Amino acid sequence: MPQVATVGSDASKIDYSIGGTVYPVPQDVKGSKVVYQNADGMRVDDGRYQNFKSDLKNELAIPEERIITDAVKTYAYGTDASFYRLLPQMVVKIHSEEEVKKILPYAKKHQTPVTFRAAGTSLSGQAVSDSVLLKLSHVGKNFRDYTVHEDGRKITLEPGLILGEVNRILQAHKKKGGHAVQYKMGPDPSSIDSCMVGGVVANNSSGMCCGVKQNTYHTLEDMRIVFVDGTVLDTADPASRESFLRTHQDLCAKVSNLAKKVQADADLTALIKKKFAIKCTTGYSINALVDNDAKDPIEIIKRLMIGSEGTLGFVSRATYNTVVDHPHKASCFIMFKDVDDACKAAAVLRRETTVDAVEIFDKASLRQCEKHEKIMSLVPTIPEAGKYGAALLIECRGPTDAELDQNIKAVTTSLDNANLNFLHPREETYPFSKDPAVYGTYWDVRKGLIPMVGGGREAGTSVLIEDVACEVDSLAPMTKDLMAMFEKHGYDDASCMGHALEGNLHLVFSQGFRTEKEVETYAAMMQEMCEIVAVKYKGSLKAEHGTGRNVAPFVEMEWGTKAYEIMWELKEMFDPDYVLNPGVILNRDPDVHQKFLKPKPVADPIVDMCMECGFCESNCPSRDVSLTPRQRITVYREISRLQAMENRSTEDQARLDEFLDIFSYAGDSTCAADGMCEVKCPVGINTGTLVKSIRARELEQAKNVSSVAASLGRNFASFTGVVPPFLNMVSGFHSILGDGVLKTVSGGLNKISGNLIPEWNPHMPRGAPKLPEPNHAKEKHPGVERKVVYLPSCVTRMMGPSKADANLEGVADAMMSILSKADYEVVYPKGLSDQCCGMLFNSRGFKDTALTKAAQMEEALLEASENGKYPIVVDTSPCLAEIKGSLQNPALRFSLYEPAEFIANHLLDKLEFNKVKKHVAIHVPCSSKKLGVEQTFTKLAEKCAEEVTGSGIPCCGMAGDRGMRYPELTGGSLKYLDLPKGCTDGYSTSRTCEMSLTNHSDVSFKGLVYLVDEATTAKKKASA
Ligand SMILES: Cc1cc2nc3c(=O)[nH]c(=O)nc-3n(C[C@H](O)[C@H](O)[C@H](O)COP(=O)(O)OP(=O)(O)OC[C@H]3O[C@@H](n4cnc5c(N)ncnc54)[C@H](O)[C@@H]3O)c2cc1C
Ligand code: SF4
Ligand code: SF4
């Protein structure tokens, strides 16, 4: 029997008061009867965690800063995308396979179970722990190595790589090598741009097109595994296989014997085959026991690891066979009178065609679509769907256009011959489209469905996503049963949607865990759902999201006792002491799915709709340094809960004080407020806006600081006037004193001043030279007038090139040179020396001064551009974004450009381009990315250099001068910078970002305009 204790009746009493978490047991071991047991909520520190920590530090040399035990960060890491929360005793940021290898035996020795965490986007509660969380991402380049083999048909990956990133690596590989076929990864979850390879393997994730054929189970070739005793098995290495067979004879024999036993049992073999013919991630991948020769335990072990959710071993490397990504695509969105017809259509297409994807939308999902303008213009019949109406989104692909046409024909013929009730005639109303704008809209809507439900829910509730599957022929009745079940339990917003081709439905609904009644309703609904899916339709309770804690109590219901006990047997073979993620996949507690539920206290309307999915994390520059956006929100929710308490106990007050204290640095000071989190957030949350509002509230209480800011705003010209000579003076000191002294002195001043004084680095700019005189056009040009308003930002007016780029003039000189070659008349806005977009003030929370400066700027730009008649180019991207964001007068909406955009839109036909550099790097600032300029920027650089490499950094963390005041912010973000050798120069459009990129690489970054200026000449007039 497993060593897992079930929580007794006393302990299961719900307590809402501890840490915002529904705890069934008290956490404090002192003075209470609670003793350590290896079950959720019972893993209290009776000394074992202290001992484990001490060994980590002293025996394994894991630095203290990578062992997190403070209340705020452990709370933050207690969150994954599921609706469970467990507070880890300790989070350890792991850097390498070697560390995992050493840590696991110590975890076994101290009986301190470990849970691995990749991106934490799991939905079933498998990436949380109240013991030790081993975090393998958010550590720069660690766990992010890869090798692409041959033409891309195979790839070896470390577990910290994001899946979408892997597809981009494959795209670049094809482009660079000039290969004929584009390959991609088989698994395609909609979390593709956030989830990591470790999680994808361990959850056996799939997605829209992946089906059962292209998941990890079917596309993985080899794996490197670290077992609980610290042994490493590399299945690609014959010596490693041989050694493992020798050293782990007993385990290998047990695995082989179990496979033999299963294969000899015809009924069990048939059940396993039947269950894995549809999507299934409930329980272990016991198909490994029937799909492989029982005499080959290594092959069996390799496949058993897939979908094992970190309960059998650690995956430190995976080699995948990739799949072909056909370039020709077309989609259609067809409305049906009844969900029966839609499901029947999916079954017909599966049987008769090789269609690539078929997604179903029920009436509730279609109601969400009605809010989407673009799809309503393409499919205006959506509101006509009745109570049981439904739609299918169908995609065909092909290697050539002709083959795509053949595939479409096969699909339409099957549909037309199947005697289906379309809402309107299929061919004329719902045609296939090859236009990316059209099919892109369909798929954007599909991907946005979960967030749409999530975004519309009541504040204080969670959005839950269940994930069931059945044989596609049973999809219609199962869907109807589930719809009736939701109606019965009062889930009015529940949507049934998903991968119809695979019989896989996602059930999305909002759920509160605020009262015992709400928890009871949820438990009753879950019980019924499991009975409908697992018993009535013999389906999968988890098709692709993994068992986790969510359906662990129902694995036996789905699989039957025989298969279930085999799963326990497997767990005990690999992890007899229950060190690896105990309680996940298998759990003897029948109520585990309704414990440790995560309430979502109302905090602030800016973040109340956060689903804690974690999609935003990889874009955040502070993710390695302090908190991620998701964690900022989670912690802020807890602070809000504590603040809202009417009578706080002494303990609550102490907890609140501690949270506020730690949040001040981790949540507030180290947020770059760049809003890159918003770019990846499915519900459009900008955590930076929350932080800016917190800063503004704090400043309201410090009136004297605000009045200093207002005074600075009023005397801005004097300020910008003194900075260049000051920077020149510092540069002079640098020449005399060298790097060391300045670094030490400024580092000291930075600390003493509480991060107010920026820390110096050797790439600090000199003072900017005087602005050049504005250019006058040399001749008259027919057509559009060549006149432009040029706004050199205050940063450009103050900061020149660095000491190392002594030969360069200022950015404004380069810009003026380009405009002169294009023969543009240039106008500076009036009162330039006093102008500022307001960002300097806004990012610090000085809202009023920011608004005053922005209004002043807008007035000057309106006047200079004659109310938007002439284009305005701003040489610093973040300033342009700030101006656009605060714009009041619509006249300027289409007149404002950042440099790459202006050159691409207005100057390409006026300049001759030459590739003057062999290989350059570019960094598109986060503000330009948000403005959608990334492609334009890249294409422009490609006109000037033979090879262009993007920095791959979402945001460098500089955020004006914040990165100089908190250098760890840029340091953390730019740990991910990995520029290839041979890259000589780097270009961007923000002077402060350029400085930090130079500081953290071997490449000197400067303004893009320098490259364009060097690469261009005036276009010669065509001779008559
Ligand atoms: C909005 C939303 C949509 C989603 N859509 C889909 C979808 O379409 N299809 C789909 O299949 N899933 C989907 N998911 C679920 C989830 O994104 C995937 O399961 C994903 O692959 C998890 O990866 P991760 O990096 O977040 O892993 P984590 O959540 O960090 O970890 C997942 C599991 O793997 C274990 N683990 C992590 N790394 C390792 C390792 N190196 N070795 C061993 N074990 C390890 C963890 O302990 C945990 O049990 C969605 C999630 C969200 C929030
Ligand atoms: S802010 Fe958005 S992306 Fe980030 S966790 Fe919340 S919902 Fe997800
Ligand atoms: S604004 Fe930037 S630094 Fe702040 S949470 Fe969002 S991504 Fe992170």
Cα→Cα distances 346→341, 923, 968, Å? 9, 45, 53
Please say whether the beta carbons of 319 and 156 come within 8 A.
yes
- Between CA 292 and CA 296, with CA 295 as vertex, the angle to 5 degrees is 60
Distance 619 CA to ligand 2 centre (A): 11
pLDDT of 405 over the 60 cut: yes
Q: Are 815 and 875 in contact (CB under 8 A)?
A: yes
- In the chain, the amino acid numbered 799 is M
Ligand nearest to the CA of 610: 2
Sign of torsion, CA 897 900 901 906?
A: positive
The response to whether residue 671 sits with its C-beta less than 6 Å from ligand 2 reads no
Mark out the alpha helices in 753-810 (DSSP H runs). 794-798
Rounded-to-10 torsion of CA 455, 456, 458, 462: -50
Ligand found nearest the CA of 632: 3
- Residues 730 and 869 sit within 8 Å (Cβ to Cβ): no
DSSP letter for each residue of 895-931: TEE-HHHHIIIIIGGGEEE---EEEEEE---HHHHHT
Tell me which residue of 714, 985, 696 sits closest to 842, measured CA to CA. 696
Q: What are phi and psi of 1011, to 5 degrees?
A: -65, -45
Fill in the DSSP letter of residue 595.
S
C-alpha span between 113 and 128 (Å, rounded): 12
752: left (phi over 0), alpha (psi -120 to 50) or beta: alpha
Any bridge partners for residue 92, and if so which?
67, 134
User: Which residue's CA lies nearest to atom 49 of ligand 1?
Assistant: 309
Top mean pLDDT of 135-144, 306-315, 453-462, 829-838 is at 306-315
Q: In 610-624, which positions are buried (b, 16+ CB within 10 angstroms) versus exposed (e)?
A: bbbbbbbbbbbbbbb
pLDDT per residue as tens digits for the range 351-394:
999 999 999 999 999 998 998 888 999 999 999 999 899 999 99
The residue-averaged pLDDT of 825-842 equals 87
pLDDT tens digits, 66-108: 999 999 999 999 999 999 999 999 999 999 999 999 999 999 9
- What are the backbone dihedrals phi and psi of residue 983, each rounded to the nearest 5 degrees, phi first? -80, 115
Q: Residue 746: pLDDT above 60?
A: no
Helix (H) or strand (E) holding 91: strand 90-93
Give yes or no for residue 702 having a pLDDT over 90.
Answer: no
Q: Which ligand sits nearest to residue 129's alpha carbon?
A: 1
Q: Ligand 1 atom 28: the closest Cα is on which residue?
A: 120
C-alpha–C-alpha distance, residues 742 and 749, integer Å: 10
Please choose from 138, 635, 677, 993 the residue to mutate so as to test ligand 3's pocket, defined by most ligand atoms within 8 A of CB.
677
Judged by DSSP in three states, 466 sits in strand
> Looking at the predicted structure, is the pLDDT value of residue 703 above 90?
no
Going through 283-420 in order, the beta strands assigned E by DSSP cover 314-321, 323-324, 328-336, 357-361, 390-398
Read off the DSSP letter of residue 458.
P
Question: Which of the listed residues 79, 618, 677 should we mutate to test ligand 2's pocket, taking the one with most ligand atoms within 8 A of CB?
Answer: 677
CA distance 108 to 244: 20
Q: What is the mean pLDDT of residues 309-321?
A: 98
pLDDT at 9: 38
Confidence of residue 453 (pLDDT cuts 50, 70, 90): confident
For ligand 2, atom 2, the nearest C-alpha belongs to 681
Q: Which residues contact 320 (CB under 8 A, 6 or more apart)?
A: 154, 155, 156, 157, 185, 186, 216, 219, 220, 221
Print burial letters for 651-662: b (CB count within 10 Å at least 16), e (below 16): ebeebbeebbeb
Least confident of 31-45, 218-232, 556-570: 31-45
Residues having CB within 6 Å of any atom of ligand 1: 80-81, 115-123, 126-127, 136, 159, 189-191, 195-196, 198-200, 202-203, 205-207, 309-310, 314-315, 450, 544-546, 581, 613
Q: How many CA within 13 A on the CB side of residue 136?
A: 30
Mean pLDDT of the chain: 89
685 CB under 6 A from ligand 2?
A: yes
Give 749-772 pLDDT, tens digit per residue: 556 556 555 566 667 777 778 889
Mutate which of 610, 622, 624, 974 for ligand 3? The one with the most ligand atoms within 8 Å of its CB, which is: 622
Q: What pLDDT is attached to residue 5? A: 30
Distances, alpha carbon 241 to alpha carbons 293, 638, 763, in Å: 16, 49, 51
Per-residue pLDDT of 583-642, as tens digits, reads 999 999 999 999 999 888 889 999 999 999 999 999 999 999 999 999 999 999 999 999
Interior CA angle at 282 toward 277 and 283, to 5°?
110
Average pLDDT over residues 540-546: 97
pLDDT for residue 14 is more than 50 = no
Kindly state if the Cβ of 637 falls inside 6 Å of ligand 2.
no
Q: pLDDT tens for residues 921-935?
A: 999 999 999 899 999
Residue corresponding to tokens 């069934």: 24
- Whether the CB-CB separation of 631 and 614 falls below 8 Å is answered with no
| Per-residue pLDDT tens digits for 470-504 | 999 999 999 999 999 999 999 988 999 999 999 99
CA distances 792 to 353, 772, 807, Å, are 59, 11, 20
Give the pLDDT band (50/70/90) at residue 249: very high
Q: How far is the CA of 599 from the centre of ligand 2 (A)?
A: 16
pLDDT digit string, tens, across residues 956-1012: 988 877 877 888 999 889 988 888 888 889 999 998 899 889 988 889 999 999 999
**pLDDT tens for each residue of 931-956:** 999 999 999 999 999 999 999 899 99
> With 70 as the cut, is the pLDDT of residue 736 above it?
no
Chain mean position to CA 912: 40
State how far the Cα of 309 lies from the Cα of 115, in Å rounded to an integer.
Answer: 9
Which residues are paired to 146 by β-bridges?
Answer: 157
Find the 364 Cα to ligand 2 centroid distance in Å.
23
